[in-house]
Chains A and B, each alone.
Chain A
Amino acid sequence: MSHAKLTEEFLKNEPKTDWHNETLWWVRSKRDVSSKGIPEWEELRSLASQIKDNVLSNIGNYLQEFEKNALANGVHVHWAEDGKEHNRIVQSIIEKHNAQRIVKSKSILTEECHLNQHLESNGFDVVDTDLGERIVQFAKQPPSHIVLPAIHMKREEVSELFHEHIQTEKGNSDPQYLTEAARNHLREKFLKADIAITGVNFGIAETGGFVVCTNEGNADMGVHLAPVHIACMGIEKLIPKFEHLGVFTRLLARSATGQAITNYTSHFHQPRPDQEMHIILVDNGRTKQLAREKFRNSLKCIRCGACMNTCPIYRRSGGYSYDATVPGPIGSILSPGFDLKKHKSLPFASTLCGSCSDVCPVKINIHEQLYEWRQVIAENGLDDMPKRFSMNIARKVLSSPKVYFTLGKIARKSLSILPKSLINNPLNAWGKQRDLPNPPKESFKEWYKKNRS
């Protein structure tokens, strides 16, 4: 279904739309305060963007360097060309250890690969340990936001879910009570876990180490207790040197939630003596995107979600209106690279206002790429017929001063004599909730001809 149709559904509940809009704007406002506390903010953004330019231009070398150093640290390194291969690798590690119970901290990459579905259909028990992720897992929904997975749900809805799944009191939606219940529930899962899966925020080529950022400490809790750690990492998550890390950690949490830093910034280098550590390096369409000159910058994304919080469309349409793993502006330039046909409405789910590009901590030109995807969609014949038809007419009219002049005159005349009920017919989307301007007697051109030439 198109973004417009899904949005129309979302908008039917206006109080909830307003609540969603205001909640995310509140996060964006916290981000403003926090980012403006750093005088060199704009400089940091440029620096981060340039470091990522370097990474994208030399990604092969950095990947090899990363692999070499990780191997030397005693880490098992795997390469996955796509989501399926990634899931097979995870499964093979699980099976090698005869494991059954898996805890997983937040990883958009594993969402992208549909790892949970894969493991569950093969009979394994996967528990998402990030609170928001656990909530949407109970609801059998995907995350609606990459940093705030359950932001579309009000606490009363969470209370219902918890009552059903972890037997909390019916109707008790006190946040502290619910969080405490989730902690106790998850604690048991952590203690019994055979394998801990995490995502990766930054992989450091120079050291072979990697960094995972969470607010709940759930990645650490999982990894410290389980005998096996599997870290799933998109190949674009690399940075060249350890000294570059600070540039990104300063930007990440401030952009995401307005915090100076995530509560946990955990560095992993090598397994404990009694532990096995795996890293899976996943391509899944990234090298294809890298080869698309106009879109390669999208791979700089550090998944902070700031573009979602700032986006006037996302705030009022919700994550599910995008029907993609990564919603919002960044998702709308990433998703068409995966499946152009399925996601062809996303580049149009924007007014090209540019707020996403200005908020982006790594300066991805998101709104310009939205424009470029629109070109790709029309050039590949994936545009809708009514649009192609009307744009063809528009082009012919606008290419000829005479036709433009005559048609403009007829249109203004018709608008001034036709009754409003006829003008605001169901086919006129403009007129559904808006009046058309009152047509003037003469156009500017006619006025100019009379008065100036």
Chain B
Amino acid sequence: MTKVALFIPCYVDQFYPQVGIATLELLEKLGCEVEYPMNQTCCGQPTANSGYAHQNKEIDDLFIKNFSGYDYIVCPSGSCSLHVKDHLHSDSNEKEAQQIRSKTYELVEFLHDVLKVDTLKTTFPYKVGLHASCHGLRGLKLGSSTERNIPPFNKTAELLSKVENIQLVDLDQPTECCGFGGTFAVLEEALSVKMGKDRIKDHVKHEAQVIAGNDMSCLMHMEGIINRDGLPIKVKHVAEILNGTTL
């Protein structure tokens, strides 16, 4: 049996436990032996992206301690996975850090590339707009960005289309950033919100009932605007839809 460590981003742990639960249940249903290392906190991206990677030693060491010895480390976030893959390191145990970097997968990437999921026995009878979060899209290459001249693909859309009765809608700007950007969301508040509003508008215009995405952080940002402005749309993490949630 594939032994998987579940890596749940800190903000998902605190604010969106249902996304962690959906990820866990989904992996279990697909035959993985899943373990959640209890002492995990965060991958250290917030501090590193703010310029303090040089002070991330304790966070990195803790991450390495928590996630050593598994076949795979799976995380329902493209951004956190990318941070680990690009920046996790250790002065004292670089070999282990390297192992972890290479074994870390974003959830969709793991389902698509490793488990090669073919069928899903779930239904989601709604119109769904897919928000392709940037770090997953361009960093992990979960899909083709519109900038590049390569055959178009999107692993998330491919998986979602296996869900029964789902209707994925086309967007005007399918690979545009939502403006979350971690601390950017508060340091450039005005611009961040403007970007979020523009992104939501695209989904609403195409009559999506739900914005689905691989990163709860982007969805949290857009949900914050949706709730404040009373907009007629909801957000769902891809893990929830794949695991069979309803609205």
Interface residues, chain A, with chain B CB atoms under 8 Å away:
3-4, 7-8, 11, 14, 17, 21, 25, 32, 35-36, 38-39, 41-42, 310, 312-313, 316-317, 348-355, 357-359, 371, 374-379, 383, 387, 391, 394-395, 397-401, 404, 408, 411-412, 429-430, 432-437, 439-440, 442-449, 452-453
Among A408, A437, A439: residue with most chain B CB under 10 A: A437
Given known pairs A378-B51, A429-B186, A433-B228, the reply for A354 and B21 (CB within 8 Å) is no
Given contacts A374-B51, A399-B58, A401-B41, are A448 and B36 in contact (CB under 8 A)?
yes
**From B42, which residue of chain A is reached at the shortest CB distance?**
A398
The 3 closest A-B pairs by CB, nearest first: A351-B181, A434-B224, A378-B51
Contact among B55, B138, B175, B193 with A434 in the assembled complex (CB-CB below 8 Å): B193
CB closest residue in chain A, given B180: A351
CB-nearest residue of chain A to B56:
A395
Closest-CB distance, A241 to chain B (whole angstroms): 26
**What residues of chain B lie closer than 8 Å to A377, measured between beta carbons?**
51
Q: Which chain B residues in 188-204 approach chain A with CB under 8 Å?
A: 188-196, 198
7 residue pairs from A and B, CB less than 8 Å apart: A351-B134, A351-B184, A358-B145, A375-B52, A398-B42, A437-B16, A445-B8
Interface of chain B, helix or strand or loop or mixed? helix
Q: How many residue pairs between the two chains, A and B, have CB atoms under 8 Å in the bound complex? A: 207
Chain B residues positioned under 8 Å from A440 (CB to CB): 15-18
Extra contacts besides A444-B12, A445-B36 (7): CB < 8 Å: A14-B194, A354-B135, A376-B51, A395-B59, A401-B62, A429-B186, A434-B221
A353 touches B138 (CB 8 A): yes
A36 to B149, CA, bound (A): 6
> Given A404-B41, A433-B193, A434-B225, do A354 and B62 touch, yes or no (CB 8 Å)?
no
Q: Known: A355-B175, A395-B58. Contact between A404 and B149, CB under 8 A? A: no
**Is the beta-carbon distance between B54 and A11 smaller than 8 angstroms?**
no
**Interface presence of B38 (CB below 8 A):** yes
**Docked complex Cα distance between A395 and B227 (Å):** 30
Give min CB distance, B237 to chain A, whole Å.
12
Spell out B's residues near A (CB within 8 Å). Answer: 8, 10, 12-18, 20-21, 24, 36, 38-42, 44, 46-47, 49-56, 58-59, 62, 134-135, 138-139, 145-150, 173, 175-177, 179-196, 198, 220-221, 223-225, 227-228
Are A379 and B54 interface neighbours, CB within 8 A? yes
Known: A391-B47, A399-B59, A445-B38. A436 touches B54 (CB 8 A): no
Our pick among B15, B38, B148, B196 for the contact of A42 (Cβ within 8 Å) is B148
| Interface of A, helix, strand, loop or mixed by DSSP | helix
Q: Say which residue of A42, A312, A354, A448 sits within 8 Å of B176 (CB atoms).
A: A312
Shortest distance from the beta carbon of B201 to any chain A beta carbon, whole Å: 10
Question: Given contacts A358-B145, A383-B51, A394-B47, is CB(A316)–CB(B191) below 8 Å?
Answer: yes
Interface pair A351/B177, CB less than 8 Å apart: yes
Query: Which residues from chain B contact A11 at a C-beta distance below 8 Å?
Result: 190-191, 194
Q: Which residue of A lies closest to B196 (CB)?
A: A434
Inside 8 A of A400's CB, which chain B residues have their CB?
Answer: 41
CB neighbours (8 Å) of B179 from chain A are 312, 351
B177 near A312: Cβ-Cβ < 8 Å: yes
Contact B51 A353 (CB under 8 A): no
The CA-CA distance from A310 to B177 in the complex, in Å, is: 11
B228 x A435 contact (CB < 8 A)? yes
Q: How far is the CA of A401 from the CA of B196 in the complex (A)?
A: 32
Which residues from A are CB-within-8-Å of B56? 395
Please give the distance in Å from B43's CB to the nearest CB on chain A: 9
Q: How far is the CA of A378 from the CA of B49 in the complex (A)?
A: 11
The smallest beta-carbon distance between B127 and chain A, in angstroms, is 23
Which of A317, A354, A387, A411 has the most chain B CB atoms closer than 10 A to its own CB?
Answer: A354
Cα(A41)–Cα(B146), bound, Å: 13
Given contacts A430-B185, A447-B17, contact A353 B177 (CB under 8 A): yes
The distance in angstroms between the C-alpha atoms of A352 and B53, with both chains bound, is 15
Compute how far the CA of A439 lies from the CA of B139 in the bound complex, rounded to whole angstroms.
30
Q: What residues of chain A lie closer than 8 Å to B53, measured between beta carbons?
A: 375
- The answer to whether A4 and B17 have CB atoms under 8 Å apart is no
Cβ contact within 8 Å between B189 and A350: no
Closest chain-B Cβ to A391's Cβ sits at a distance in Å of 5
Q: Known contacts A374-B50, A399-B62; is A432 also within 8 Å of B189 by CB? A: yes
Q: With both chains docked as a complex, state the minimum distance between the C-beta of A222 and any C-beta of chain B, in angstroms.
A: 35
Q: A42-B149, A404-B41, A430-B185 are in contact. Are A398 and B191 (CB under 8 A)?
A: no
Q: How far is the CA of A355 from the CA of B188 in the complex (A)?
A: 19
Q: Smallest CB–CB gap between B194 and chain A, Å?
A: 6
Contact B198 A433 (CB under 8 A): no
